[in-house]
Amino acid sequence: MLKFIVRRLIFTIPILFGLSILVFLFVRALPGGPAIALLGERATQESVEQIEEELGLDQPLPVQYMRYLTNVLSGDLGSSVSTRRPVVDELKQRFPATFELALMAMLFAVAAGIPLGYIAAKRYQGILDNVSLVGSLLGISFPVFFLALLLKYVFAVKLGWLPTVGRIDVTRSLEHPTGFYLLDAIIAGDGAAFVDVLQHLILPAIALGTIPLAIVARITRAAVLDVLGEDYVRTARAKGLDPGVVDRRHVLRNAMLPVVTVIGLQTGLLLTGAVLTETVFAYPGLGSWILNAIRFRDYAVIQGGILFFAGMFIFVNLLVDVSYAFLNPRIRYR
Amino acid sequence: MSIAEAQAAELSLERPSGLWRDAFDRFRRNPAALVGVSLVLIFTIAAIFAPQIAPHPPNQQVGPLSTNPAGPGGGHVMGLDEQGRDLFSRLLYGARLSLLVGIVSVGIGLAIGLVFGALAGYVGGWVDTVVMRVMDLMLSIPSLLVAIGLVTLLGRGMVQIMFAVGVTTVPIFARLLRGSILGQREADYVLAARSVGVPGRRLLLGHILPNSIAPVIVQATLTMATAIIEVAGLSFLGLGPGDPSLPEWGKIMADNANRLESAAHLVLFPGFAIVLTTIGINLIGDGLREAIDPKLKS
């Protein structure tokens, strides 16, 4: 097992290396550059050249890349051109925001999706089954930003039940030792702040979690249907085992393998795919950060952000593979 | 004609039911799939006959300029937009763009992905390793970001947007076809064909590919829905077609996202147009999947 993990980690090195070259070339191929983005279209040639010299952009590409690579390897991702802050600092602030959002979205998807899929399978071809099938079809067919807009309009603007934008009420003061606001509120022992942060998370989490919810429900349904037809389930029932025990111990546990896979893959996607939701709710996460960086040609942020994304994605996938082995002892990695 | 020949002729009267024929029969008897076909058909007709159906040209001003455009009524079934254009007409023309986007971008992804997938699966060895690592690399960046990056790089024309979204689907098809080919490569019928001397290219194109393509077709259909949503998402982020006169559904929504209060029709109608189109496509995809692989339905 350990050998498998180590080998997988070694395999990610060339991927990240290749990616760093690709992203490096990509940002430099973008029309315009940080100097133009900073100074505007009508900047004089001299001022553009001066800024480019300051940023080291007048050097040949291989020289720039080597300098970038040595910095990255020593943990320095450079500084944002627009905020002048180190990319690492901004990452520390943005990542917890997106992580909280993705976690809530996934909780919502799992808490609703697994029971939904399970009930649908137990009532195969019944009304509940059909309702959940139609529901999950709607879930995957709704564009995230459309759902987000509707949720925001109905529950935040019209009914005023929940806040419209951001992570926390702007007038509230809360220390941020961890950057995970829910955790920060607990540390500060501030119940009102905790509720406030939670309220800010609800709508974006539902918007973001709907597609995973639909997928989790579908996969659970299919997996449970599959297991229900197995001989050992019939045997367990035939020997007079309590139906509840059969369902819990024999059906659900064996049906969970594909579900865990999907949850893992979807979590990877959520952590990285929140651009649209974050935009609608003006949520200060990773997605909107990189989107803005691309707009303003903020080279260091684009490079650092995308490398971070990729690293996270690969890490989550590794976790999924490892969790297989725990759930299904028949799988042995070498 | 000998008795044996007569019997053989008689036997062949009944057409053998192949995979595709069976699949078609199953598809035809699936009500959900038929709903999907009807939905897609409606939008296809709307797209093809937009000039005939639309009461007005998509960019003609037929009402007053207004920051508070009128909703449905007064001879405009879906109301007007802020420039006094007929929304229904614009949505009809928008159907052309969305369907085109779905077909072309998946076509691009499919074409590139199939070549890579076939190479990796059939040739194997280091080709397989290199191709699949490149696909891993692409999959490690979220597809919307790849699309955003490519559009920023290439420009905001329709062609560039379709290409960008198409590229993000390449790894899906490559992986799928590779896996499918690996499953088929060692099958007995391939071994038989190889042992009677069928050359490599024909082995791949004539034997392995037709037997590996079914899951790819299903995936292509489902991906079409994703592509339409993705392009709408790009538009929503302000990275849609640069031409402001194009009635792209996502763009109409983005332009009016903050008018939900005063002119909800400008967000709701295009929004539901997208939803209905993707529902239709998804239903067809699911129907195809069940038709091709009846085990799933059991």
Residue pLDDT, tens place only, A275-324: 888 888 888 888 888 888 888 888 888 888 888 888 887 788 778 777 77
Q: B36 CB near a chain A CB, below 8 Å?
A: no
Question: How does the average pLDDT of chain A come out, rounded?
Answer: 81
Return the pLDDT at B275: 92
Q: Is the pLDDT of residue B28 over 60?
A: yes
Q: B13 CB near a chain A CB, below 8 Å?
A: no
Minimum distance, in Å, between the CA of residue B17 and any CA atom of chain A: 28
Q: Which residues of A touch B (CB under 8 A)?
A: 14-15, 18-19, 22, 26, 29-31, 137-138, 140-146, 149-150, 153, 157, 222, 229, 269, 272-273, 275-276, 279-280, 290-291, 294, 306, 309-310, 313-314
Minimum distance, in Å, between the CA of residue B214 and any CA atom of chain A: 20
CA torsion B81→B84→B86→B92, rounded to 10°?
A: -60
Give me A255's structure tokens: 């049906």
Spacing of C-alpha A214 from chain mean position: 17
Give me B59's structure tokens: 């960019």
| B37-77 confidence digits (pLDDT tens) | 999 999 888 888 878 877 878 777 777 777 777 767 777 77
Give me B188's structure tokens: 């007995």
**How far is the C-alpha of A223 from the C-alpha of A325, rounded, in Å?**
18
Which chain B residues contact residue A279 at CB under 8 A? 236-237
Cβ(A305)–Cβ(A91) below 8 Å: yes
Least-confidence region, from A231-245, B11-25, B91-105: B11-25
**How far is the C-alpha of B213 from the C-alpha of A295, rounded, in Å?**
40
What confidence tier does B5 reach under pLDDT thresholds 50, 70, 90?
Answer: low
For chain B positions 136-155, those within 8 Å of chain A (CB to CB) are 136-137, 139-145, 148-149, 152-153, 155
pTM: 0.82
| B236-258 confidence digits (pLDDT tens) | 888 888 777 888 888 888 888 77
User: Of A146, A222, A229, which has the smallest distance from its Cβ to B274's Cβ?
Assistant: A146
Least-confidence region, from A36-40, A191-195, A213-217, A284-288: A36-40
Q: Is the pLDDT of residue B298 over 50?
A: no
Percent of chain A with pLDDT over 70: 95
Inter-chain CB proximity B260 and A153 less than 8 Å: yes
Which one is the CATH code of B79-273: 3.30.200.20, 2.70.50.60, 1.20.1600.10, 1.10.3720.10? Answer: 1.10.3720.10
For chain B positions 174-233, those within 8 Å of chain A (CB to CB) are 225, 229, 232-233
Inter-chain CB proximity B145 and A149 less than 8 Å: no
Inter-chain CB proximity A18 and B296 less than 8 Å: no
**∠ CA(B163), CA(B169), CA(B171), 5° rounding?**
125
Return the pLDDT at A199: 84
Conformation bin of residue B198: beta by default, left when phi > 0, alpha when psi is -120 to 50: beta
Percent of chain A with pLDDT over 90: 4
Minimum distance, in Å, between the CA of residue A229 and any CA atom of chain B: 10
Which is more confident, B116 or B143? Answer: B116
User: Of A141, A222, A229, which has the smallest distance from its Cβ to B225's Cβ?
Assistant: A141
Cβ(B216)–Cβ(B169) below 8 Å: no
Inter-chain CB proximity A145 and B279 less than 8 Å: no
Q: Nearest chain B Cα to A19, which residue? A: B137
The average pLDDT across B190-214 equals: 81
Q: Is the pLDDT of residue A177 over 70?
A: yes
The average pLDDT across B220-225 equals: 89
- B155 residue type, one letter: G
Q: Closest by alpha carbon to B248, among B258, B237, B259?
A: B237
Q: Is the pLDDT of residue A108 over 90?
A: yes
| A29-56 confidence digits (pLDDT tens) | 777 777 776 666 677 777 777 777 777 7
User: Of A229, A269, A294, which has the smallest distance from its Cβ to B148's Cβ?
Assistant: A294
Element (H, E) at A21: helix A2-29
Return the pLDDT at A332: 59
